[in-house]
Amino acid sequence: MDAIKEFFNFFADPRVFFLLTTGAFVFAVWRRDLFVKPSVGYGLQIFLVLFFGLGLLDENFRLIIGKPDNVPIVGLIFLLLFFTWYSMRQAVLNDQRIANAEPVAEKVEEDRVWVWPDLVYIELICLVLCSVVLIVWSIVLKAPLEQPANAAATPNPSKAPWYFLGLQEMLVYFDPWLAGVVLPSLIIVGLMAIPYIDTNPKGNGYYTFKERKAEITIFLFGFVVLWSSLIVLGTFLRGPNWNFFGPFEYWDIHKLEALTNVNLSEYIWLRGLGVGMPSHWLFRELPGILLVSFYVFGLPVVFARTVFKRYYEKLGPARFYVTAFLFLSMLSLPVKMLARWLFNLKYVVAIGELFFNI
């Protein structure tokens, strides 16, 4: 039993967890014909039921999963996995119909039906079921109420509400001005920009993957892998001092994790050239500033000229550069994660004098 727990603790390590989630995602999209099989979908749900059911036998697991405010996230894991599988399944089935020159499922049913009763009774059933779930949930589980607010007693860890824990997890890799302000704003702007930068007229009003490969892959990566899996990570696997703890691991407040993170400027001036840090911050951080500038301004141009030339011609400059900027902003998180894990990189640009660290 302990061996199994150790096994899951190992896979829950942020590096392994994130790479594994990404890997599973790539596989699910690439071999979607396998992923959408009913046996796979049900198998995943049964695995989750077993994992959570048997996991609850463990005291440490029970402590973190059983926290009343964490219960919705357990629900979210089941629902999100189910709906990812379910929407991909309908997309693949429709793709097969399109390949066979048949109309998609939604096209077959384009006849109109009466709202009363055909829609109203479905709404009524959903509404009743939703009420039942909510009432049972409310009877079974008391809303949490801890000690009265005390500004002098900081809990460890202090966590934001669960839906913001993906953002809090980003604080490991970025400073608050990026993780807490700029990137969340860009998420909102990016979501709002979607209809204007996606000029693909296909796939409007029906499930399909083949006709919208890039759009769906990028969205799923952002929503399922980055946003949602980081919420799960931040809620269940981060304990005191925001250290990593496996799901079956005791939250030891004295757990020490060596912090040996190094700035890019230190890598270059101290380790690379061995000349000591320049005194002025502009000169000191010039390599990092150039690197970030290239990532934000140079890379989109390179993309437009080379690998994504086809997209550039299709979208036009304005749409292409907005898309590239938003896409690179999203990718900045996994890029920074990898840099941290591989090189212990702390900041690419570290201008503490101006609170400007990237």
Partner 1 sequence: MADTKTVAPKEGALERSWNWLTETQIWKSVFRHNAPITDRNRVLVVLSNVFLHLHPVRIRKSGVRLRYTWCMGGLSFFLFLTLTFTGVLLMFYYRPTLEYAYTDIVGLREHVPLGIMREMHRWGAHAMVITVWLHMFRVFMTGSYKPPREFNWNVGVIMLVLTLLLSFTGYLLPWDQLAIWAITVGSNMARATPFLGYEGPGASLLALGDVQLIHAADDARFALLGGTFVGEGALLRFYVLHCVGLPLAIAVLMAVHFWRVRKDGGISGPL
Q: Which residues in 56-75 contact partner 1 (CB under 8 A)? A: 69, 71-72, 75
Nearer to partner 1, 116 or 275 (CB): 116
The answer to whether 350 contacts partner 1 (rule: CB under 8 A) is no
The answer to whether 143 contacts partner 1 (rule: CB under 8 A) is yes
Nearer to partner 1, 143 or 342 (CB): 143
In 106-133, which positions are buried (b, 16+ CB within 10 angstroms) versus exposed (e)? eeeeeeeeeeeeeeeeeeeeeeeeeeee
The answer to whether 270 contacts partner 1 (rule: CB under 8 A) is no
> Please, what is the minimum distance in Å from the beta carbon of residue 149 to partner 1?
4
Measured distance CA(167)–CA(186) in Å, rounded: 12
The answer to whether 182 contacts partner 1 (rule: CB under 8 A) is yes
CB 346 within 8 A of CB 261: yes
Of the candidate spans 216-224, 252-260, 290-298, 302-310, the one that interacts with partner 1 by CB under 8 A turns out to be: 216-224
The answer to whether 216 contacts partner 1 (rule: CB under 8 A) is yes
Query: What six digits make up the tokens of 9?
Result: 């603790």
The answer to whether 3 contacts partner 1 (rule: CB under 8 A) is no
The answer to whether 2 contacts partner 1 (rule: CB under 8 A) is no
The answer to whether 280 contacts partner 1 (rule: CB under 8 A) is no
The answer to whether 115 contacts partner 1 (rule: CB under 8 A) is yes
Query: What six digits make up the tokens of 89?
Result: 């399944």
Nearer to partner 1, 270 or 291 (CB): 291
By CB neighbour count within 10 A (0-12 exposed, 13-18 middle, 19+ buried), where does 71 fall?
A: middle
The answer to whether 295 contacts partner 1 (rule: CB under 8 A) is no
The answer to whether 282 contacts partner 1 (rule: CB under 8 A) is no
Nearer to partner 1, 42 or 196 (CB): 196
Q: Quick check: helix, strand or coil at residue 356? A: strand
Asked if the bond preceding 201 is cis, omega within 30° of 0, the reply is no
The answer to whether 38 contacts partner 1 (rule: CB under 8 A) is no
Give the angle 216-220-224 at the CA atoms, nearest 5°: 170
The answer to whether 150 contacts partner 1 (rule: CB under 8 A) is yes
The answer to whether 197 contacts partner 1 (rule: CB under 8 A) is no
Tokens 């002025």: give the residue. 280
CA atoms within 13 A on the CB side of 356: 10
